[in-house]
Amino acid sequence: MPGLDLRTIGELGLIEALRRRARQARGVWVRGIGDDAAVLRPRPGRDLALTTDTLVEGIHFRWSTTDANSLGRKALAVNLSDLGAMGARPLGFLLSLALPEDASPEAIDGMLRGLLVEANTARCPLVGGDTVAGPVWTLSITAIGEVPKGAALGRSGARPGERLLVTGTLGAAALGLWLLERGQGSVQGARRFIRRQLCPRPPYEAGLRLLRTRFASAAIDLSDGLARDLAQLLRESGLAAEVHLDRLPLPRGMRALCRRFGLEAEELALHGGEDYELLFCVRAEAPSAAVFTRRLGCRVTELGVLRAGRGARSLRAGCPVPVAPWGFDHFKPVCTSADK
């Protein structure tokens, strides 16, 4: 698609293109793109949730393995996943976009398309932002959502004896990344996993619906891998957990593909990351996972139980097994023990 050559249109041209394409923000938005700041009129009885997440070329994505449309969708999706984990409904987002001067007009166009498709899907309009030059593509998004006053789900509200549940399946995105990076994207059955890596579909509504059940005490979105994100939730709540590894919800076809490449499906589910599912805690008397599946509109699996103490203990067939609770660390990609 022509017309988005930065050296021709300049920064103002890019901002104009964003403004033209973004659906006009309405509802709570009093001012959007074109002013020094976007202005929102909060609705009475609502709190606002704000979150920011960044994708950097060469770190979070490579042009050799992603397409521009998926990149745009993912950049917004990972932020909306954070809002969802608080039980918040998205209201809008700001985009801070750093682009190399020679960024391909087709890539910019594709990214914007993907971004705005995701924005329309989630009814979360682009309301402002900043465009700058940079050595690599960097998409930094701040998303704003609303949640009934006092109801936001945090990481620190869990209590001993509560149950630990998770939406969807785990490990698919990590397997997809592995396949992509080894050039195995065209093997049979790979497509689905690669899709999960390139274009995650977080259960945006799950957090909101979970709030309405009134059984939840804490939640976190799974971006860094179950083991690490669970460790974080436990740290914030000052608790321990017992997790049944044999209950880990693996996607269909994952074990077969993993066997073929000598990978441990369980490892990917625990430590792979980028699942963008919702891990949450409910009171002991809450209904079964099957009932949550119905009420949240997506698969829900019960993983274990929370205990007094510190760290996570893993069980297989009811017996303890050691699992290092590491996950993805941008600066320190090595095992660290939080089990102590």
Q: Is 83 in the site for its own copies (CB under 8 A)?
A: yes
d(CA 254, CA 168): 14
The distance of closest approach from Cβ of residue 29 to its own copies in the complex, given in angstroms and rounded to an integer, is 10
d(CA 110, CA 310): 46
Q: Which is nearer to its own copies, 130 or 264 (CB)?
A: 130
CA atoms within 13 A on the CB side of 307: 11
d(CA 83, CA 323): 29
Residues 6 or more apart whose Cβ sits within 8 Å of residue 50: 142, 143, 144, 145
Q: Which is nearer to its own copies, 220 or 226 (CB)?
A: 220
Q: Of these, 62, 123, 149, 252, which contacts its own copies (CB under 8 A)? A: 149
Q: Is 74 in the site for its own copies (CB under 8 A)?
A: no
Q: Is 115 in the site for its own copies (CB under 8 A)?
A: no
Q: Of these, 2, 20, 26, 150, which contacts its own copies (CB under 8 A)? A: 150
What is the pattern of x (binds its own copies, CB under 8 A) and - over residues 311-330? ------------------xx
177-206 positions binding its own copies, by CB under 8 A: none
Report whether 242 contacts 339 (CB < 8 A).
no
Amino acid at 232: Q
Q: Is 85 in the site for its own copies (CB under 8 A)?
A: yes
CA angle in degrees (0–180, nearest 5) for 181-187-191: 75
What is the size of the binding site for its own copies (CB under 8 A)? Answer: 77
Q: Is 268 in the site for its own copies (CB under 8 A)?
A: no
Q: Which is nearer to its own copies, 58 or 161 (CB)?
A: 58
The distance of closest approach from Cβ of residue 69 to its own copies in the complex, given in angstroms and rounded to an integer, is 22
Sign of CA dihedral 56, 116, 39, 3: positive
Could you tell me whether strands 216-221 and 278-282 are parallel, antiparallel, or unpaired per DSSP bridges?
A: antiparallel
Q: Is 18 in the site for its own copies (CB under 8 A)?
A: no
The distance of closest approach from Cβ of residue 10 to its own copies in the complex, given in angstroms and rounded to an integer, is 3
Distances (CA, A) of 20 to 2, 17, 110, 150: 15, 5, 15, 37
Q: Is 289 in the site for its own copies (CB under 8 A)?
A: no
d(CA 314, CA 241): 8
Q: Is 75 in the site for its own copies (CB under 8 A)?
A: no
The distance of closest approach from Cβ of residue 286 to its own copies in the complex, given in angstroms and rounded to an integer, is 21
The distance of closest approach from Cβ of residue 98 to its own copies in the complex, given in angstroms and rounded to an integer, is 6
Report whether 301 contacts 203 (CB < 8 A).
no
Which of 81-89, 183-191, 261-269, 293-301 is the region at the interface with its own copies (rule: CB under 8 A)? 81-89
Q: Is 158 in the site for its own copies (CB under 8 A)?
A: no
Q: Which is nearer to its own copies, 122 or 263 (CB)?
A: 122
